[in-house]
Amino acid sequence: MTTQVTRPGQPAGPGHGINLHVLGPIVALLVLIVAGALMNPNFLSYANITNVLARSAFIGIIAVGMTFVITAGGLDLSVGSMAAFIAGLMILVMNLLVPSMGAGISVILVGMAVALGAGLLAGFLNGFLITNMRIEAFIVTLGTMGIYRSLVTWLADGGTLSLDFGLREAYGPVYYGGLLGVSWPIIVFLVVAILGEIGMRKTAFGRYCAAIGSNDQVARYSSVDVNRIRLLTYVGLGLLVGIATIMYVPRLGSASSSTGVLWELEAIAAVIIGGTMLKGGFGRVWGTVVGVLILGLIDNLLNLTDWVSPYLNGAIQGVIIVLAVILQRENRPEG
Amino acid sequence: MKHLALMATTALTLSAAPLWAQEAEETQVIGISIPAATHGWAGGMNYFAQAAVERLEEVYPQLDFVLATASDPSKQVSDIEDMVATRGIDALVVLPFESEPLTGPVKAVADQGVWITVVDRGLSEPGIEDLYVAGDNPGFGRVSGEYMVSALPEGGKVVALRGIPTTIDNERVAGFEEAIAGSGIEVLGMEHGNWNRDDAFTVMQDFLSKHSQIDAVWASDDDMAVGVLAAIEAAGRSDVKFVLGGAGMKEMIARTRDSDPMVPANVTYPPSMIASAIEITALGLVSDAPVAGRFIIGSELVTPENAEQYYFPDSPF
C-alpha cells in the first residue's frame, strides 16, 4: 500500500519522522486532556483526576488481560457478566460468614479468595472449551456471557444483592482508601498494567501470544504449546476479572443483573484503541491503558460540559473511538 | 360463571391433572407477558407477578395462568404468539417491553377476541386494550417537584439524574419541571444515570466536581439514589442536604422510616401494579363486575410518618 502515502490529507509517510501508529492514542489522549482543561477548570483538579482513574480501574484491569487474549487471536465477551456473577457470589459468601466470623478482615479475605478462585475457574472454563473442545471463542464466551448474567439475576432473585452493612464499613477503604493520596484501585491498576507490559514485551509468554495470534500453525511447528498458552490467556483474564471485582464490590456494596453491563465491549474497545490488532498477532499493553483512559475521560468530559445534549453522549463516544483508531491506522503495514 | 360452586368442586378433585384438556370450555387461561428482571424495579415486578399468580391459582381453581418473562421485545412477541397458539389464552396481561414493536402483535391477539390488559407502558395505537393499568409518570415528577419546593422553601440549587431516555423519563421530568417552575429552585444540570447505580455514581461524582454548591439532588429513582449517596459520601461534601429518590425500594423506604436526614422522603411508583392488573383481569373473567377502562395508580409521597405501610420486606425491590 505504499502508493497510498501520497494521498492528499494523509500527512504521514516515510521520512515524516513521527510514527503516528505509536503516537496516535497518546495524541488523542492529550487532545482530550487539553480540551477538558479549557472547558472546565475543575477538570484537572486532584479530586476529578482521582475519580476518573479510580472508576476506570475496573475496565482497565480487565482490559490488560483482554490484551493478551486478543493478541493470541482470541476474544472474551463474558467478562462483564463474569464480573457481575463473581460480585454476587462474593457478597453472598461474605454475608453468610458474618454471623460466624464477625464483620472483619478475615471475612473480607475469604471474600477476596472466593473472587480470585471463581475468576480462575470461570477463565479456565472458557479456555478449556475453546482450546480442548475446539469451539469458537466468540460462541463459547457469548454462551458463558448469558450464563453468568442469568446466574447473577437468579442469585439476586431478580433484585439486588447488598453487602452486610457492617462489612461495608470495613471493606469500603479498599475502594475509597489509598496510599499517599493515591487510591487503591489506581495503585492496583498501575501494578497490573506494569506487570502486563513486562509480560507482553519481556517474557516468552508474551512472544508466544503474538506468535499464536499471527499464525498458530507456524507457532505450533515452532514447538509452541499453542493450546496451553491460549488456555493461560483466558485463565489470566479470569483472574484479573476477579481482581477487578474485588475493587468494585466495596464501592457500592451491591451487585445486580445490571452490574458490569457492556464492560466486555468497553474493554475490547480500549484494547483496540490502544493499537492491539483485533485479529491478533500484535499487542500493546500501555496502549490499552491509554485506551482505557480515553474512554474514561470522554464520559467525564461529557458530564462536565453542557454543550452537547446528553442524548448524544453515545454518538460523541463513538466518533472519538473511531477517530482514535484512524489516527494510528496510517503507518500500519497493511493499511 | 353460573356453576361456580360445581366447578370449584370438580377442580378440587381433579386438581392434579391438567384441567384444560378435559374441560376446555370451563377453564380459562390468562397469559402474562412481562420483561425479565433486568433491574431492581423489574425484579420487584416479577416478584409481585408471581405472588399474584400463586394467590389467584388458589382462589380461582377455574383459572390457569401462563407467565413468561422476555429479555427483549422480539422474545416478548414470540412469547405472546406461543401463548395464543399453544394455550389458547382467554386474556392477556402484557407489560410491553417497548410500545412500537408490541403494538401490532398485541392487536392481532385482540382481534381474535382475547381480553387485553396493558400495564404501565401504553401501546402506540389507542383502543386496542380493554383495560389499561399504569403508574402516573407526570404525577411522579410532579409529586417529586412539589416535595423539592416544600423542602427548599428559600429556593436552592439542585441537580437531577434522569433514567434511560424514554417517554416515561420525559413525562417525569416534564412533571418535575412544571412543579418547580417559579419556585426559586435552580436546576444546575440533568444527566442520564439510566436507572443504574454505577452510572449514577459516576454522574454524581462529575456533578460534584463541576458544581461547588449543590443543595439537593433529585435522583428520581432509588437505584440511582444509592449511587448518588455513595458519591456524596466519598467526596465528603456537606453542602448537599438531601437526596430524593423514587419508586420505593425497601432499603430506601427503611431509611426514610428511620428518619435518615439524607433520605427524608420517597415517591412511589409501585412495581406491584402488575399484581393489580392480574387481579382485576382475573376478576373480570370470573365475575360479572365490569372492569374495562383505565386504572391509574397514583404516585404518593412517602414520609417518615407513613413509610411503614410502603415497606415490603419480602420483595426483592
pLDDT tens for each residue of A67-90: 999 999 999 999 999 999 999 999
Same domain, B8 and B131: yes
A333 located within any domain: no
Set of chain B residues whose Cβ sits within 8 Å of the Cβ of A312: none
Residue A19: give the domain boundaries. 2-327
Set of chain A residues whose Cβ sits within 8 Å of the Cβ of B198: 252, 258-259
Confirm or reject contact between B170 and chain A (CB < 8 A): no
Q: Which three three-digit cell numbers place residue A135?
A: 469451539
A317 located within any domain: yes
For the complex shown, is ipTM > 0.90? no
Confirm or reject contact between A45 and chain B (CB < 8 A): yes
Q: Which parts of chain A register pLDDT below 50?
A: 1-16, 334-335
What is the length of chain A? 335
Set of chain A residues whose Cβ sits within 8 Å of the Cβ of B207: 303
* A-B contacts (CB, under 8 Å): 92
Sign of torsion over alpha carbons A191, A197, A200, A201: negative
The domain that holds B292 is classified in CATH as 3.40.50.2300
Query: Between residues A308 and B76, which one has the greater pLDDT?
Result: B76
Set of chain A residues whose Cβ sits within 8 Å of the Cβ of B197: 252, 254, 256, 258
Query: Between residues A62 and B21, which one has the greater pLDDT?
Result: A62
Closest Cα in chain B, distance from residue A305 (Å):
8
pLDDT of res. B2: 42
Set of chain A residues whose Cβ sits within 8 Å of the Cβ of B165: 311
Least confident of A77-86, B124-133, B138-147: B124-133
Which chain A residue lies closest to B166 (C-alpha atoms)? A311
Give the DSSP H or E segment for A77: none
pLDDT of res. A232: 96
Q: Which three three-digit cell numbers place residue B141?
A: 415528577
pLDDT of res. A256: 85
Number of other residues whose CB lies within 10 A of the CB of residue A134:
8
pLDDT of res. A2: 41
Give CA A38 to chain center in angstroms.
29
The domain that holds A211 is classified in CATH as 1.10.3470
pLDDT of res. A188: 96
Confirm or reject contact between A299 and chain B (CB < 8 A): yes
Confirm or reject contact between A106 and chain B (CB < 8 A): no
Same domain, B232 and B289: no
Same domain, B85 and B183: no
Closest to B43 (Cβ–Cβ): which among A159, A162, A299?
A159
Total count of domains within chain A: 1
Same domain, B141 and B241: yes
Total count of domains within chain B: 2
Same domain, B112 and B158: no
Confirm or reject contact between B46 and chain A (CB < 8 A): yes
* Residues B312 and B51 sit within 8 Å (Cβ to Cβ): no
Reference A218, options A285, A131, A127, A281; nearest CA is A281
pLDDT of res. A47: 86
Set of chain B residues whose Cβ sits within 8 Å of the Cβ of A259: 198
Which chain B residue lies closest to A249 (C-alpha atoms)? B198
For chain B, how many helices (H) and strands (E)? 11, 12
Pick the last residue of a domain from B227, B251, B267.
B267
pLDDT at residue B165 is higher than 70: yes
A contact test, residue of B34, B169, B186, B206 with most A CBs within 10 A: B206
Set of chain A residues whose Cβ sits within 8 Å of the Cβ of B38: 153, 257-258
Residue B195: give the domain boundaries. 137-267
B165 and A311 in contact by Cβ < 8 A? yes
Interface of A with B in 144-183 (CB under 8 A): 153, 156-160, 162, 176
A153 and B36 in contact by Cβ < 8 A? yes
B contact test, residue of A256, A302, A313 with most B CBs within 10 A: A256
Same domain, B249 and B295: no
Reported as half-sphere exposure (CB side, CA atoms, 13 A), residue A172 has a value of 12
A158 and B207 in contact by Cβ < 8 A? no
B38 and A153 in contact by Cβ < 8 A? yes
A contact test, residue of B67, B167, B198, B208 with most A CBs within 10 A: B198
* Residues B109 and B293 sit within 8 Å (Cβ to Cβ): no
B110 located within any domain: yes
Same domain, B258 and B153: yes
Confirm or reject contact between B166 and chain A (CB < 8 A): no
Band (pLDDT 50/70/90 cuts) for residue B18 is: very low
A24 located within any domain: yes
Q: What mean pLDDT is reported for chain B? A: 86
A332 located within any domain: no
A143 located within any domain: yes
Same domain, B127 and B13: yes
pLDDT of res. B270: 87
Reference B159, options B228, B222, B226, B227; nearest CA is B228
Residue with cell 395505537: B125
Band (pLDDT 50/70/90 cuts) for residue B208 is: very high
Which chain A residue lies closest to B165 (C-alpha atoms)? A311
B195 located within any domain: yes
Confirm or reject contact between A48 and chain B (CB < 8 A): yes
Set of chain B residues whose Cβ sits within 8 Å of the Cβ of A303: 191, 202-203, 206-207, 210
pLDDT of res. A98: 87
Rounded to the nearest 10 degrees, how much is the dihedral formed by the CA atoms of B31, B37, B42, B47?
70
B190 located within any domain: yes
Helix (H, G, I), strand (E, B) or coil at B64: strand
Same domain, B159 and B130: no
Beta strands in A54-155 (DSSP E): none
